[in-house]
Amino acid sequence: MEKNFIQSVDERTRLAGTNRLEILLFTLGEDQETDREEIYGINVFKVREVMHLPPVTKAPDMPDAVEGMVSLRGSMVPVINLARFCGIPVKEKPKILIITEYNQHVQGFMVHSVDNIQRLAWEDVKAPPELITHRLGGLVTAVTELSDNRLVMIMDVEKVLAETARMYEDEVEFQDLPKIGREGVSVLYADDSSVARNQVQRVLDHMGIHGIATTNGAEAWGRLQAIADQAIAEGREVQDMIQMVLTDVEMPEMDGYVLTRRIKEDARFDKVPVIMHSSLSAEANMAIGESVGADAYVPKFQPNELSETLRRLIHQQEPHLKSA
């Protein structure tokens, strides 16, 4: 299974700049209460391998949804029982372990079964209906319908990690971030994960920067168009109103690569830098970001690195900001 799964990495990399993605479909088992088996998905880019569930070593003082640890080529990897995390009482025990890597953190997800890999267009991936968002506590960032009419829910894995591993919660990482030292700096940011948006806003707040939040590339592009129209109507430059764009890569409707390309192809945004901010930290993804014109590529959940990148790019604008 692993060999067939990994051998298409190069092809998947070429997909990334075309507003398309591939997701691995999996199930958590049949729900005891509804007798249904929901289908979930995660981006193939974040999957390292898929295997039959090996023995899991219990460990003390673990969050409830963390089953324990497995030894993977000499490294101990935490294992999360996704059905338990989601609060879904399933009839069957997990059989499969999906090993994932998010922002250089490796963990395993216990699931009941793995289906297949589906290639999708991001414009066919939509924000989840309120009913699904409420039922799963914000765990699903997007939904899509397959050609066979099955509904797939794409998980916010960053939320899973935040709540099980208590990642991204250390306030000390934010306390020492230096202020930007000027007023009127605004950054528009786009991310479909509520956890990620919260992290970005905390960085901006500590730096004294005004943040404009959007939940995907399409929404961000719409806001940018409105800002540009307003600037033209008032006889101002766009850079007077927005100094930076910060974008995630994976987002429903329009991904960060397409958003960045559109910004860079529009002369009105010539002086507005774009930072790509992603848990897809492989060099291949950074190279794609550079190819579409990104001014910087910052791994997610690195407050100091994000702060330093923002400061550097904003200071490069100082001659304009001083005269604005």
- Residue 164 pLDDT more than 70? yes
d(C-alpha 283, C-alpha 157), whole Å: 21
Render pLDDT for 257-312 as a digit per residue (tens, 0 to 9): 999 999 999 999 999 999 999 876 556 667 777 888 899 999 888 889 999 999 99
Q: Are 211 and 204 in contact (CB under 8 A)?
A: yes
Domain interval for residue 291: 172-323
Shared domain for 287 and 158, answered yes or no, is no
Same domain, 89 and 136: yes
Same-domain status, 113 and 62: yes
CATH code of the domain covering residue 233:
3.40.50.2300
Of 16-25, 95-104, 237-246, least confident by mean pLDDT is 16-25
CA atoms of 311 and 207, how far apart (whole Å): 9
* Token pair recorded at residue 93: 């025990």
115, 147, 164 - which closes a domain: 164
pLDDT band at 131; cut points 50, 70, 90 = confident
- What would the pLDDT profile of 44-63 be if each residue is shown by its tens digit? 878 889 999 999 998 787 87
Chosen domain end from 101, 131, 164: 164
Q: Are residues 159 and 183 in the same domain?
A: no
